[in-house]
A and B are shown apart, each in its own frame.
Chain A
Amino acid sequence: MDVQVAEAGTEQKARTKVSARDVDVFYGDKQALFGVNIDIPEHQVTAMIGPSGCGKSTFLRCINRMNDTVDGASVRGLIAIDGQDIYDGRIDVVQLRARVGMVFQKPNPFPKSIFDNIAYGPRIHGTFGHKDELEGIVQTSLERAGLWNEVKDRLSEPGTGLSGGQQQRLCIARAVAVSPEVILMDEPCSALDPIATARVEELIDELREHYTIVIVTHNMQQAARVSQKTAFFHLGILVEYEATEQIFTNPRDERTQGYITGRYG
């Protein structure tokens, strides 16, 4: 009982960064999400779990309007960042994607130098005044991604020459370089070995000081390790959304219980 009271207390303190109200998503005639309501707290890591096809990635892609690029996809309902409707016609989608960065399953560095990979975003968005300033952004971004010490002497080498784990951290640095507020991660570690995974997990924990992080993962232990809140999706429905500890020790819903304990049903 005490635990719940304490959690309710922290929930009140944490400001909502992203909120969704009655969100439905359709791919053509097929409905992928049904009436999702969620408040994602600022400076916390929120994990989305659920079986394949449950809608967790679909929901993630609503937050930076990536679904706009999918043919026949339509989104209904309200998604707001800091209370502002991101599907409002006046919203500049390019600007939105600078505010909401994304890291994908497979590291996808540009076929450019390490430096240019990071500098790419700031150059497009013109978020720096001077060349020195750009170098500063590159260094800070690489530092935040925990990669600086490993690459500082070879910034002109191609990003694709790095190891898988380094490439993924390069992608995180690239996302960080445009000073986003929210970082979306779609299974960022599923292509990495356990050590690279541990590095990225540690990084995620550090990053939440500056950013709000939403991570989709198939690895439940990972969700348990990195997140403060966990959302369980099943068949396009947000079944349960609770403090991570609650979800993994005492979930309320039978479907959550069945999924995280590895049972049918």
Chain B
Amino acid sequence: MPADHIVKSYDEELTKLNRTIVEMGGLAESQLARALQSITRRDNDLAGRVVENDVRMDEMDRGVQHLTVRLFALRQPMAKDLRTIVGALRIASDMERIGDYAKNIGKRALALNQAPPVRPVSAIPRMGRLIQEMIKDIVDAYVDQDADQALAVWYRDEEVDDMHDSLFRELLTYMMEDPRNITSCTQLLFIAKNLERMGDHATNIAENIFFQVRGEPLDDRRPKGGATLDGDVVGNTSRNPDGGTGA
């Protein structure tokens, strides 16, 4: 921000908006970290707390919505302010979605912990760490209003998609090896998908930060691998179970 607004309360409201977004980012990080821990440690208490904590995320999202509508109505924001506020509204809903996926991972962990441990569980934290880094970096990019860092996160989503793809194949192998793995592996499959979706939302956030800072949309810079791959994977998930039931 170059200088303060002549109207002080406008600055106070913008600061509050900013703080809420950062807080949501922090909560998203810790929710994901705990959800992943609850899988590796087979910790049901922790998983339960992740599920409960999501309420806070929803509250903050509603808070951001309320605040942005208020800012539009009372301040008629322009230029950088306008982009900041529109961006914040969208970033908050992406954060909220990330929170939802963390909550879902928590729920899956509860189910997973009832079955005997399966080997590929180790691949999940690896993908999880990548997502954690992306979320941490995107929150930093937001705080510093750093378009280049946002862009770097945006590019990394391809790595997530690749990892999801290979994890998917790996899980299929385990399921074919021993049908008793199917229940657990299906949970892991959904968890992997949740992580992959978190990556997509981190990418959305990157786009919004880029727009906030530069005032222009982040368009088709990336080879459109992410979208196609995602389509392929969705196609696979629907095709393969069908094949399985048929055989």
Q: A and B bound?
A: yes
Q: Interface digits, B76-93 against A, CB 8 Å rule (1 contact, 0 not)?
A: 111111110000000000
- Among B5, B83, B214, the residue within 8 A (CB) of A263 is B5
**Pairs A–B under 8 Å by Cβ, sample size 13:** A249-B82, A249-B215, A250-B215, A251-B79, A257-B2, A261-B79, A261-B80, A262-B7, A262-B10, A263-B4, A264-B3, A264-B6, A265-B3
Contacts of A248 in B (CB 8 A): 78-79, 82
Q: How far is the CB of A52 from chain B (nearest CB, A)?
A: 14
A162 close to chain B: CB less than 8 A: no
B59 close to chain A: CB less than 8 A: no
Contacts of A254 in B (CB 8 A): 2
Q: For chain B, which range describes its interface: under 10, 10 to 19, 20 to 34, or 35 or more residues? A: 10 to 19
Q: Which of B3-19 contact A (CB under 8 A)?
A: 3-7, 10
Q: Are A250 and B5 in contact (CB under 8 A)?
A: no
Once the chains are docked, how many angstroms separate the CA of A258 from the CA of B79? Answer: 9
Q: Are B2 and A260 in contact (CB under 8 A)?
A: no
Residues of B within 8 A of A (CB): 2-7, 10, 76-83, 214-216, 219
A220 close to chain B: CB less than 8 A: yes
**Closest 3 pairs between A and B when the two form their complex, measured CB to CB:** A250-B215, A265-B3, A260-B78
Once the chains are docked, how many angstroms separate the CA of A68 from the CA of B80? Answer: 40
Contacts of B79 in A (CB 8 A): 247-251, 256-257, 260-261
Once the chains are docked, how many angstroms separate the CA of A257 from the CA of B2? Answer: 9
- Among B4, B7, B80, the residue within 8 A (CB) of A257 is B80
A1 close to chain B: CB less than 8 A: yes
A10 close to chain B: CB less than 8 A: no
Q: Which of A115-147 contact B (CB under 8 A)?
A: none
Residues of A within 8 A of B (CB): 1, 3, 220-221, 224, 247-251, 254, 256-258, 260-265
Contacts of B216 in A (CB 8 A): 1, 3, 250
Once the chains are docked, how many angstroms separate the CA of A74 from the CA of B83? Answer: 42
Once the chains are docked, how many angstroms separate the CA of A263 from the CA of B75? Answer: 13
Once the chains are docked, how many angstroms separate the CA of A64 from the CA of B21? Answer: 52
Q: How far is the CB of B73 from chain A (nearest CB, A)?
A: 13
Q: Are A262 and B83 in contact (CB under 8 A)?
A: no
Contacts of B83 in A (CB 8 A): 249-250
Q: Are B215 and A261 in contact (CB under 8 A)?
A: no
Once the chains are docked, how many angstroms separate the CA of A73 from the CA of B10? Answer: 41
Contacts of A221 in B (CB 8 A): 76
Q: Are A263 and B6 in contact (CB under 8 A)?
A: yes
Once the chains are docked, how many angstroms separate the CA of A1 from the CA of B221? Answer: 12
Closest to B214 in A: A250
Name 4 extra pairs, CB < 8 A, besides A250-B215, A260-B79: A1-B219, A254-B2, A258-B3, A261-B78
